[in-house]
Amino acid sequence: MKHNILKRTLATGLAVLCVAAYAPTFGNTGLFDTAITASAMSWTITEGSSLKCSQTQEVDGDLTVKDGGKFTIVDNATLTLTGSFTAESNSIIILGAASKIIAKSIDFSSTNVTVPDGYAVKITDTCIKTIPQWESGDCTVTLDTDDGTLTVSKMSGNGAMDKYSGPSGTPWYQYADQITAIVIKSGVTVVGDYCFGELESLKTVTVNANLESVGYNAFYGCENLETVTFAPQESGEIEFVMTPFNGCSGVIAYSEGSTALFDKDDNILKAGTALDDIETGTFNWGATTRTLDDGKYAQGAVVDNVNYTRFVYVLPLSELHGKKQATFTVTKGDASATFVTSYYYTGMVNSGVTYIPANETSVMLICVVKGGAPTELTCTLSIDGEVYQPNN
């Protein structure tokens, strides 16, 4: 499988000290059988010549593959050069699975690159390597196993990822313990159901422009997930199918340039950017554990002479089945603000007090507002555009 590689240009000066006019091999029976202890050398593969790296090797000097020259590195091998690696535009480069070339600098222009099926080429200023690659719907997913970054991209236009029936259904689930970060590139419009479920080492997620929807349980069971960052979206608001972060112990999800939507330390939702500079305050309801019947609650606090109100709706989970989002609308006099969310909670901890629904089949929807006491504010809750009427 051939890949077109974008040119990465670095200044490189090479002195040709050795011309490979035959087909030597990096390995037990080839060109670099013995360690090179003299001054660094420059190896050049000329037109019609070839060189093969058959095992992990460290070599002093530079390596240049000229137009028409051929360089091969086998599966799982790493070639480390003290100098530079250069591949001219018409050179032939064959990279094995999980192979790697590390050099002081890389000047890679070759357009004749072959890698095994299921792998892609990643090029930096100092490294060329093959990394696992999969297709998901209209998108391509790659994993850098060195730094644990899973990247979802769409090479041209926009496209959606597939939906999956569970976390183990994704092809990258086999690397669940290695994935520490996810980057969703511009052009990816939909993250499907269970796409990133049960990634036990996942810490951060970065979402670029164009995302329109995040599927059901997309990040289910990512217990160590800490931060989700959303860039300003070209399509407007992102649509969340209910509970994309179900089973996550705590997430800080926010948009660039705005305030947090969900704070891990306090384990509560916060209002959106229309109500700026949001802080939690301290809400003491006077019990170590308190159960809440289905209904609507409002609790006030004053922090640094500023009023805060927390609105809590407790309702049967069945009211949310098949729903996508909930909208809080808060008014104070003639002013109003809305907060759209797809999160619900089975409990909440704040200032050492635990709050849980009295009914085990009920959940909580929560919004904290700065700038008004409970007696000054009114709050309504809509679920998929339909106003919800609480029991109390």
d(CA 346, CA 343): 10
Q: 62 and 81 in one domain?
A: yes
Q: Give 353's pLDDT tier (boundaries 50, 70, 90).
A: low
pLDDT averaged over the chain? 77
d(CA 366, CA 385): 17
Residue-level pLDDT at 2: 37
User: 276 versus 293: which is more confidently predicted?
Assistant: 293
Which tokens sit at 20?
Answer: 């490979």
Q: Is 318 contained in some domain?
A: yes
Q: 58 and 15 in one domain?
A: yes
Q: 276 and 168 in one domain?
A: no
Q: Give 232's pLDDT tier (boundaries 50, 70, 90).
A: low
Q: 198 and 173 in one domain?
A: yes
Q: 392 and 276 in one domain?
A: yes
Q: Give 226's pLDDT tier (boundaries 50, 70, 90).
A: confident
Mean pLDDT over 229-243 rounds to: 65
Residue-level pLDDT at 322: 79
Is-contact 187 211, C-beta < 8 A?
A: no
Q: Where are the beta strands (DSSP E) in 137-225?
A: 139-144, 149-153, 159-160, 181-184, 188-191, 204-207, 213-214
What CATH number corresponds to the domain at position 196? 3.80.10
Mean pLDDT over 192-201 rounds to: 95
Closest CA to 312 of 250, 355, 261: 355
Is-contact 218 195, C-beta < 8 A?
A: yes
Range of weakest confidence among 90-99, 119-128, 286-295, 375-384: 286-295
Question: Phi first, then psi: what are they for 9, rounded to 5°?
Answer: -105, 125
Q: 232 and 160 in one domain?
A: yes
| pTM assigned to the model | 0.60
What CATH number corresponds to the domain at position 389? 2.60.40
d(CA 101, CA 74): 11
Mean pLDDT over 376-385 rounds to: 90
**244-283 CB burial, b ≥16 within 10 A, e <16:** bbbebebbbbbbeeebbbbbbebbbbbbbeebeebebbeb
Q: Is 264 contained in some domain?
A: no
d(CA 239, CA 242): 9
Domain boundary among 131, 152, 174: 131
Q: Is 212 contained in some domain?
A: yes
Range of 321's domain?
A: 269-392
- Which residues are within 8 A (CB) of 66 and not within 5 positions of it... i.e. 6 or more apart? 44, 45, 46, 47, 88, 91
Residue-level pLDDT at 33: 30
Mean pLDDT over 328-344 rounds to: 81
Is-contact 193 216, C-beta < 8 A?
A: yes
Q: Is 162 contained in some domain?
A: yes
In the chain, the amino acid numbered 339 is F
Residue-level pLDDT at 260: 36
In the chain, the amino acid numbered 103 is A
User: 373 versus 264: which is more confidently predicted?
Assistant: 373
Mean pLDDT over 340-348 rounds to: 74
Closest CA to 103 of 226, 212, 219, 8: 8
Beta bridge partners of 182: 150, 205
d(CA 273, CA 370): 11
Beta bridge partners of 63: 43, 85
Is-contact 383 318, C-beta < 8 A?
A: no
Please say if the pLDDT value at position 266 is more than 50: no
Q: Maximum CA pair distance of the chain?
A: 87
Q: 154 and 102 in one domain?
A: no
User: 19 versus 80: which is more confidently predicted?
Assistant: 80
Q: Give 311's pLDDT tier (boundaries 50, 70, 90).
A: confident
Range of weakest confidence among 63-72, 290-299, 341-350, 353-362: 341-350
Residue-level pLDDT at 22: 31
Mean pLDDT over 277-295 rounds to: 55
Q: Give 242's pLDDT tier (boundaries 50, 70, 90).
A: low
Q: Is 333 contained in some domain?
A: yes
Q: Give 280's pLDDT tier (boundaries 50, 70, 90).
A: very low
d(CA 283, CA 276): 20
d(CA 72, CA 54): 8
Residue-level pLDDT at 277: 29
Q: 151 and 119 in one domain?
A: no
Number of domains in the chain: 3
Range of weakest confidence among 97-101, 102-106, 284-288: 284-288
Q: 127 and 106 in one domain?
A: yes
Mean pLDDT over 297-322 rounds to: 82
Please say if the pLDDT value at position 171 is more than 90: yes
Domain boundary among 76, 103, 131: 131
Domain boundary among 77, 99, 131: 131
Range of weakest confidence among 52-66, 130-144, 192-206, 300-314: 300-314
d(CA 124, CA 112): 18
Rank 226-230, 275-279, 336-340, 361-365 by mean pLDDT and report only the highest.
361-365
Closest CA to 385 of 296, 331, 323: 323
Q: Is 262 contained in some domain?
A: no
Kindly report the number of other CB atoms within 10 A of residue 74's CB atom. Answer: 18
Q: Is 263 contained in some domain?
A: no
Closest CA to 290 of 343, 358, 215: 358
Q: Give 258's pLDDT tier (boundaries 50, 70, 90).
A: very low
Q: Is 235 contained in some domain?
A: yes
Range of weakest confidence among 100-114, 257-271, 296-310, 352-366: 257-271
Q: 298 and 245 in one domain?
A: no
Please say if the pLDDT value at position 324 is more than 70: yes
Q: 381 and 313 in one domain?
A: yes
d(CA 26, CA 336): 71
Closest CA to 37 of 63, 12, 61, 73: 61
Q: 251 and 175 in one domain?
A: yes
